[in-house]
Structure 1
Amino acid sequence: MADELSPHQAEELARRIVELYARAEYELLQRLATHLAKGLDADEHWTERQLLELQRFRQAATVILEKLSTDSQAVVAEIIGAAGNRGAALATLGQAVSGGIASTAVDPYAVTAIAAELDMKLSASRGRIYRSVDDIYRTVIAETTPLVNMGTMTRRDAAQRALTKLASNGVTGFIDRTGRRWEMSSYVEMASRQATKEAAIQGHTDRMIAQGHNLIIISDVPQECADCRPFEGKVLALKPDGQHRTLDDARDAGLYHPGCRHSQSRYQPGRTRSFGETADPEGDKARQKLRYLERQKRAALREEAAAMDDDARAKAKAKAKAYNAKIREHVATTSAKRQPHRERAGFTAAR
């Protein structure tokens, strides 16, 4: 439908933010491995030397994160505004509207508030990134020394083992309102996609109301989750009308949660078709497994970034290749749809 708002039409904008943070994480891990490798094979005083290298790494990390902050703020303002305008434009397409109503602007305060909230979340995330990589550096040093002293392995092997384990987890410690913990790339993607979706919905809803339309219908999507499944095909009111459940009520009950892929479009009584039961729980399970495989492949790519020699790099590449094969098999045998951009971790071609 011409006036249908699909989250995917706005979420593609969020990829720009995700790419910024993925690149920063990847570069930080590369820098971390470089500094830890200084004097690793020949220096008897490697542990003492690492106190100086830690300071140098912190300086490099600060530069990377300051650039990330500048770039992130500019991109957030741009994409949230674009998402709001896109939502409004979709509500206008195909409408015969008189009196200039179609040119009514999206509520700038609402869109600005969405951008400010996202920027606040991302700003807090940058502090967590710095603390996380600093902790990784200290932990590698702390775990390496005892293993070397016991004579169980070389300093290089011990340091690489500790770094690989920590890099596999990535930058963690991100906690959402429900208490769920996220890895950095997943958290930034979730927050950015949700904000662009919120802005698009705001623009779409504002424009629908301005055009005198109060009813919308929620789409059917495959592989839907249990939270938003009850709203598929339901007619909702943008403003209370005494007959229909409102969009705000539906959202409070789970519709348009982070990751929700449903869309909304104008409902015209007597003309718009609804639909019956469309539950797809098996599809949801397939999609969730694909998300798991994507996370594992990203972990392997982070291990590659943190490799201190060719052997460790080859092992990480082999692991990433194995998960790539699992992803191919999974999408070939289930209804899950592959999204290659979700499998990247800092765009390894940048090495």
Structure 2
Amino acid sequence: MTGQEEQESPRTAQATLIGLYVWADGQWTMGLGRLFKRLRHAHGIIDLQAAVHLLQHEERRIVDTLNTRTPRLLNMMEQETLREARTVVRRIPPKPPTPVTLLEPPEPPRFDFTMPLGERATMAIHTDLRTELKDIRARILRQHDDLYKLTAAGSATHEVMANGDTIKDAQRTMMRDLLTHGVTGFTDTAGRRWQLSSYVEMAVRTAAMRARNEAHLTVMQAAGITLFTVPTHMHTCPVCFAWQGKVLSVTPDAQADATIEEARAAGLWHPNCEHTITSWHAGDPHPDPGEWSERDDVLWKASQHQRELERDIRAQKRVLAYSGEPLMRQQARQRIRGYQRQLRDLTHDTGLLRRSHREQPDLGLRR
């Protein structure tokens, strides 16, 4: 991975950061595959402990790589955000100078459009990602303990149950679950379980979009613009659709439908949301907010089903790539073909664009 590090640029920092954690997820899952291959020939708890100990070394190697590269990539993302903010500044015409009289009190310091936006522009990246990615790395280092407990407990349970299953059956079931879900047990604050790579993709894209919106908002305010509107976005969710075409203000304003904070509290700019804001001036016509139609509902539900099928395909491809069990590999191939058939039918019937890179375990990213 070090060979590519010199080639990284701020323009690719976001994709490279996501790809780094996709790589980590794959490396850890590969270690799981090797561990379960050992377990097929293991005898007793001593062999289990030895196998898990090897996985612990793999965890350490993966996390050391993440610890080394993550800070640099986050810094590059922040610098990219600052550059984009300065580009927005250059597009804003300067305010006309204010006539100065001898009796006029000194003006407060004006906003310096040449200064980096710093804290406001990079707040989301700095606060959200530095904390969340650190938590993820800590979680990876605890996986071997959780795996040992799960495997030992699962084996013991199946030993005493008179259901015809064997320890090997228990291990096969557990292996399928772990390979499907990646870093097992990763749960966000809302209680949703995520694959590590899927969560990092969501977190990075959301933080980057939020940082750009904050930078844009800060510059617009400095230029005296306090009213904004939310542009239309294809395949939006019902919550965000309600805000398309609405006029938002920084502080309460009779010309606005709500404040930016009220819109955010109501669900606008949720994780993975791609909505932005554009300036709106008094006297401009109010945009047509539109109405949620049956077609909108069909497309929204279809897009969510598409995301679900993509996740299912990725999960089964992980099993196919990292499992040494012939039966599991055969079942994975069958499931992949079934999910892909459903996806072809869905995109054909709805006109949604099929994104084949989202069906790959590495999300189509390269290190």
Task: Please classify the TM superposition score into its range, dividing by the shorter chain length.
Answer: 0.7 to 0.9
Alignment of 1:228 with 2:225, yes or no, is no
Cα offset, 1:92, TM superposition: 4.2
Partner of 2:94: 97
Q: Is the 8 A contact 2:228 2:280 kept in 1?
A: yes
Match of 1:200 among 212, 215, 239: 212
Distance 2:302 2:223 in 1: 40
Task: Go from structure 1 to structure 2 and tell me whether the alpha carbon gap of 1:347 and 1:259 turns closer, same or farther (over 3 Å shift).
Answer: closer
Moved more, 147-156 or 256-265: 147-156
Alignment of 1:22 with 2:22, yes or no, is yes
Distance 1:87 1:342 in 2: 30
Moved more, 104-113 or 254-263: 104-113
Q: What one-letter code is carried by the residue in structure 2 that aligns with 1:334? A: T
Q: What one-letter code is carried by the residue in structure 1 that aligns with 2:299? A: G
Deviations 1:94-119 (A, max 9, x none): x4336898943342122443233211
Deviations 1:120-172 (A, max 9, x none): 11111222233345423543454357768989578766533430133223324
Task: Go from structure 1 to structure 2 and tell me whether the alpha carbon gap of 1:267 and 1:91 turns closer, same or farther (over 3 Å shift).
Answer: farther
Alignment of 1:131 with 2:128, yes or no, is no
Deviations 1:253-293 (A, max 9, x none): 22111122222212244556722414222221111111211
Distance 2:298 2:227 in 1: 31
Q: Is the 8 A contact 1:144 1:155 kept in 2?
A: yes
Distance 2:304 2:297 in 1: 11
Task: Go from structure 1 to structure 2 and tell me whether the alpha carbon gap of 1:108 and 1:347 turns closer, same or farther (over 3 Å shift).
Answer: closer
Q: Which residues of structure 2 form unaligned runs of 5+?
A: 1-9, 97-109
Q: What one-letter code is carried by the residue in structure 2 that aligns with 1:22? A: V
Partner of 1:249: 262
Distance 1:320 1:253 in 2: 38
Match of 2:347 among 325, 331, 348: 331
Distance 1:271 1:153 in 2: 71
- The alignment's TM-score, normalised by the length of structure 2, stands at 0.78
Match of 1:78 among 47, 66, 76: 76
Q: What one-letter code is carried by the residue in structure 2 that aligns with 1:236? A: L
Distance 2:156 2:324 in 1: 17
- The alignment's TM-score, normalised by the length of structure 1, stands at 0.81
SS of the residue aligned with 2:141? Answer: helix
Q: Which residues of structure 1 form unaligned runs of 5+?
A: 1-9
Moved more, 324-333 or 267-276: 267-276
Distance 1:349 1:12 in 2: 11
Distance 2:201 2:318 in 1: 17
Q: What one-letter code is carried by the residue in structure 1 that aligns with 2:133? A: L
Partner of 2:316: 300
Q: What one-letter code is carried by the residue in structure 2 that aligns with 1:97? A: P
Cα offset, 1:201, TM superposition: 0.7
SS of the residue aligned with 1:231? Answer: coil
Task: Go from structure 1 to structure 2 and tell me whether the alpha carbon gap of 1:178 and 1:40 turns closer, same or farther (over 3 Å shift).
Answer: closer
Percent sequence identity is: 27
